[in-house]
Amino acid sequence: MAKPDTLTIEPSGPLPRPMFAPGRVMIYAVLILTSLYYLIPLYVMIITSVKDLDAIRYGNIFIPTANPTFAPWVKAWSEACTGLKCSGLAPGFYNSVSITVPSVIVSIAVASVSGYSLANWPFKFGEFFFTVLLVGSFVPYQVMLYPLVIITREMGIYSTLWAVVFVHTVFGLPILTLLFRNYFSSLPPELFKAARVDGAGYWRIFFQVMMPMSVPIFTVAVILQVTGIWNDFLFGVIYAGPTNYPMTVQLNNIVNSLQGVKEYNVDMAATILTGIVPLAIYFFSGKYFVRGIAAGAVKG
C-alpha cells in the first residue's frame, strides 16, 4: 500500500472548516446590510404611523415612540382630507375594490382563452399576432392614453369605474395572453391530441382538460393582476373621474393636500393602508409571486 504514514494529521473525511469562515461571514454581512436598506422604509413607515405629532416634531424618525397611538390610522382611513372632502381613504378603498375585481376577472378570462387559442389552435397570422402581443406589452402607456380617452368617451363610460376596468383589461391582455400561451404550450401536446381524438371540442377541451391543469398559472395571473391594478395610479387619475378615484390617487391627494398642519403620521398610516393589500398578497403567495414575475418576464 502506498499510504503515506509520515503525515502527522492524516486528511480524512470532510475538510475541517472554521465555524465562521471569513468568506461566509462577509456574504452574510453584505446580505444583512442590504436587507436593512430594504427594510428601513417599512420600519420607518410603521413607527411613524403610530406616533403623535409631537413625537414626530421632537423625535427621530428612526426611533419608535414610547406611546404608540392608532389615531393616525383611524384618521387616515375615515377623516383625512383630500382637498375639499374629508372622508379619508375609505372611499378610495371601495373604489379600488370595485375596479380591481371586475378588471381581474375580465382580463384573465379573455387572456386565458386567447392564450389557449394561440397555443393549441394554430391559425393564419398566428406568428404575427404573437409578435404584436409581445411588442404591445412594452408600448408605453402614454402612447395609448388619448386614444383610450376617445374610445371610452365614445362608449359613454369615460369618467366612470367602467372606463378604468376597460383600460386595465386592454393593457393587461398582451402580457397575460403571453403568460397563458407559454403555459399552455408547455403542457404535453399529446394531452390535447388525445382529447381531440376522444371527440372533445374547443370549449370542452378548454374547460375540462386545460383549466383543471392550470391552477398554478391562474394563481400567478391573479396575483399579477391584483397587485398591478391595485397599485395603478395613472389610469385612475385619467379615466375614473374624481368620485371614483382609486386608493393610490386618494393617498396622493391626502399627502399633497395643503390644508392645515402637515400630519406626517396620518400620511404614513395612509401609505401603509394603501400598500397593505398587495403586501398581504405578496407575503401569502411568496412562491407564486416570484414565479409570476419570472414567468411573465423570462419567457420560453
Partner 1 sequence: MVFIVLFVFIGGTFWTVASSFTNIKTLPIFTPAEFYDAFVGMAQYQRLWRSSRWIISITNLGIYGSLYTIFAFVIGFWLAVLMDQKIRLEGVFRTIYLYPFALSFIVTGHVWAWIMNPAFGLEATVRGLGWETFSFDWLTNREMSIYAVVIAGLWQGTGLVMALMLAGLRGIDDEIWRAARIDGIPKWRTYIQIVLPMMRPVLVTTFVIVASGAVRVYDLVIGLTQGGPGLSSQVPTIYVYETMFVGALAQGTAASTIMLLATAVILIPWVVVEFGKKQQA
Partner 2 sequence: MAMKSPSVSIRGLALSYGAVSVLQNLDLDIAQGEFIVLLGPSGCGKSTLLNCIAGLLEPSEGQVFINGKNVTWEEPKDRGIGMVFQSYALYPQMTVERNLSFGLRVSGLPKDEIEKRVKRAAEMLQLGELLHRKPTALSGGQRQRVAIGRALVRDVDVFLFDEPLSNLDAKLRAELRVEIKRLHQKLGNTMIYVTHDQIEALTLADRVAVMKSGVIQQLDDPHAIYNQPRNLYVASFIGSPTMNFIKGEIGGTVAAPSLALGKGDVALKSYASKKKLGVGQKVVFGARPEHLRLNAGNEAGLSDAFDAVVDLVEPMGSDSLVWLKLANQMLSARVESSQIYKPGEKIKVRFRVGLSSIFDAQSGERL
Phi, psi of 259 (to 5 degrees): -75, 140
Residue 74-93 contact track with partner 2, rule CB under 8 A, x = bound: --------------------
Q: What are the cell numbers at 129?
A: 399576432
Interface with partner 1 (CB under 8 A), residue total 78
Q: What are the cell numbers at 235?
A: 389610469
58 is in the binding site of which of partner 2, partner 1, none (Cβ under 5 to 8 A by kind)? none
Residue ranges in 46-75 that form contacts with partner 1 under rule CB under 8 A: 48, 56-57, 60-62
Count the neighbouring beta carbons within 10 Å of the beta carbon of residue 289: 19
Which of the ranges 5-13, 22-30, 237-245, 259-267 carries the binding residues for partner 2, by CB under 8 A? Answer: 5-13
Q: What is the SS3 assignment for 172-193?
A: HHHHHHHHHHHHHHHCCHHHHH
Phi, psi of 14 (to 5 degrees): -70, 150
Q: Is 10 in the site for partner 2 (CB under 8 A)?
A: yes
Residue ranges in 25-64 that form contacts with partner 2 under rule CB under 8 A: none
Give the closest residue to 243 by CA, choosing from 149, 163, 172: 163
Q: Is 298 in the site for partner 1 (CB under 8 A)?
A: yes
Cβ nearer to partner 1, comparing 211 with 279? 279
Which amino acid belongs to residue 281? I
User: 25, 28, 54, 78: which one contacts partner 1 (CB under 8 A)?
Assistant: 28
User: 74, 97, 144, 191: which one contacts partner 1 (CB under 8 A)?
Assistant: 144
- Does residue 101 contact residue 113 with C-beta atoms inside 8 Å? no
Residue ranges in 210-229 that form contacts with partner 1 under rule CB under 8 A: 227
Shortest CB 10 distance to partner 2, Å:
6
Q: Is 12 in the site for partner 2 (CB under 8 A)?
A: yes
Q: Is 297 in the site for partner 2 (CB under 8 A)?
A: no
Strand, coil or helix: 85: strand
- Does residue 115 contact residue 180 with C-beta atoms inside 8 Å? yes
Q: Is 197 in the site for partner 2 (CB under 8 A)?
A: no
DSSP 208: I
Element housing 37 (H / E): helix 22-49
User: 8, 11, 36, 154: which one contacts partner 2 (CB under 8 A)?
Assistant: 11
Binding site for partner 2 (CB under 8 A): 1-4, 7, 10-15
